Amino acid sequence: MEALQIIVAIFILALASSLTFASDPSPLQDFCVAINDPKGSVFVNGKFCKDAKLAKADDFYFSGLHIRKNTSNTFGSTVTPVNVAQMPGLHTLGISMVRIDYAPNGGLNPPHTHPRASEILVVLEGTLHVGFVTSNPDNRLISKVLYPGDVFVFPVGLLHFQYNIGNTYAVAFAGLSSENPGVITIASAVFGSNPSINADILAKAFNLDRKMFLLFLEQDFKQKEVFICHAKFLNLLPSNSKQPAKSTYIIMKGIRSILIAFGLFAFACLSASAYDPSPLQDFCVAIKDIKNGVFVNGKFCKDPKLAVAEDFFFSGLNRPGNTSNPVGSNVTMINVDIIPGLNTLGISLVRIDYAPYGVNPPHTHPRGSEILLVVEGTLYVGFVTANPDNRLFTKILNPGDVFVFPFGMIHFQFNIGKTAAVAFAGLSSQNAGVITIANAVFGSNPPINPDVLVKAFQLNKNVVKYLQSRF
């Protein structure tokens, strides 16, 4: 009976762990390429999976993220997503990517939330004022001005924004910790829902009576058409109305009210999220000092009230890494050890520099999938599936191309061009880990018994010893 109790206890612990350590649902196979045809497929996480033997490199590939998008719209920004809808091989891998273009002088990615993902953003061009707001009751605004090479983190479910304060175009790329993170643009959700939210509800939420709420809208929207549209959404004007009583220049005073009113909603979204162990607070900034700290996911957490913008910030990803080494590549890792605010958020970022003909040698990430974007140069990339098939999926990538390396698969990148290459990649863990195959096999400490490697690799013992001497 004692043995049975132990088994039951282990089962319960394992079940609890599966609830705590969650990512986009863990697949029981190397990958699950999403398809619309259910014939001969398996249903996983809302998508049917293609027969793994029919998967091809294009399932893990997207091209065109180098192209500047049109920002001639109300907000002066355009978001180009690369999620499971654009790249079916992302299914179950818990990662996706976006490119964001901002018009000069005020291009805005307006206040919004991602109900299923944290976000790590790197600026490539321009100057952005960014920020996020914590949940009730504090509703703290944590903000920063970012320049090229700067990195900032937006915790899962929290309201956040980016605003171009420069007089030139701005461009940013971001990794998100879900194959389909979702977007809730606050203004659209509040004032543009279908059917519209009752005006009395919103008037009460923003502490205005119905007439004052109409005046609030009238004063806070620049364009008459915008005002009429929102007023009609709230049933405050008849459907045939052509203009309000008056229209004044847009001001930002209403945004803070919106952010505060929906802080609780953003916090509620956390319960539906899945990523590195689920926090029961907005974020958990890692600290080394255990005094007044809380231990979460191998790190002590700073008191949230003491968190500052620098906890979510890194500068310098615009600087090339030194590729003067035997493999001709350099990986600059931005994980929880570099940005402590990443703790528990299930996302991290790397910059990879490649010398001409440089290689990021075959390796695995034991705790994360990877989505890679080429910014400069031409890379030959690939990954190998698990036993027994050991299929190699490869692709040649040019600037703007995106490729996915599934969780735990051995993968590589090789610069086949005559010039230096640069790539950025998001990983679906705050600390994805790296196992470089050659180093682990032939350079372990202490060394693996040569007899083991002789048999495993079917090599002469002298060859094994020579390889071990090289690492």
Pair (322, 420) in one structural domain: yes
Q: Would 382 be classed as within a structural domain? A: yes
Residue after which a domain boundary falls, among 263, 290, 310: 263
Q: Would 369 be classed as within a structural domain? A: yes
Least confident of 54-63, 116-125, 153-162, 372-381: 153-162
Residues making up the chain, counted from first to last: 471
The annotation status of 365 as a binding-site residue, yes or no, is yes
Pair (295, 383) in one structural domain: yes
The annotation status of 370 as a binding-site residue, yes or no, is yes
Positive or negative: CA dihedral 210, 213, 219, 225: negative
Pair (241, 378) in one structural domain: no
Query: 125-172: per-residue pLDDT in tens?
Result: 999 999 988 877 788 889 999 999 999 999 888 889 899 999 999 999
The annotation status of 411 as a binding-site residue, yes or no, is yes
Question: Looking at residue 237, what is its pLDDT?
Answer: 38
CA 98-99-102 angle, to 5 degrees, is 135
Query: 193-241: per-residue pLDDT in tens?
Result: 777 767 777 776 776 666 666 665 554 433 333 333 333 333 333 334 4
Total domains present in the chain: 3
Pair (222, 343) in one structural domain: no
Give the domain CATH number at 316. 2.60.120.10
Alpha helices, DSSP H, located in 56-185? none
Pair (243, 350) in one structural domain: no
C-alpha distance from residue 358 to each of 160, 329, 418, 438 (Å): 38, 5, 10, 16
Pair (325, 389) in one structural domain: yes
The annotation status of 91 as a binding-site residue, yes or no, is no
Q: Would 117 be classed as within a structural domain? A: no
pTM for the whole structure: 0.75
Q: Would 296 be classed as within a structural domain? A: yes
| Mean pLDDT for the chain overall | 78
Per the structure, the complete domain to which residue 451 belongs is given by: 436-469
The annotation status of 160 as a binding-site residue, yes or no, is no
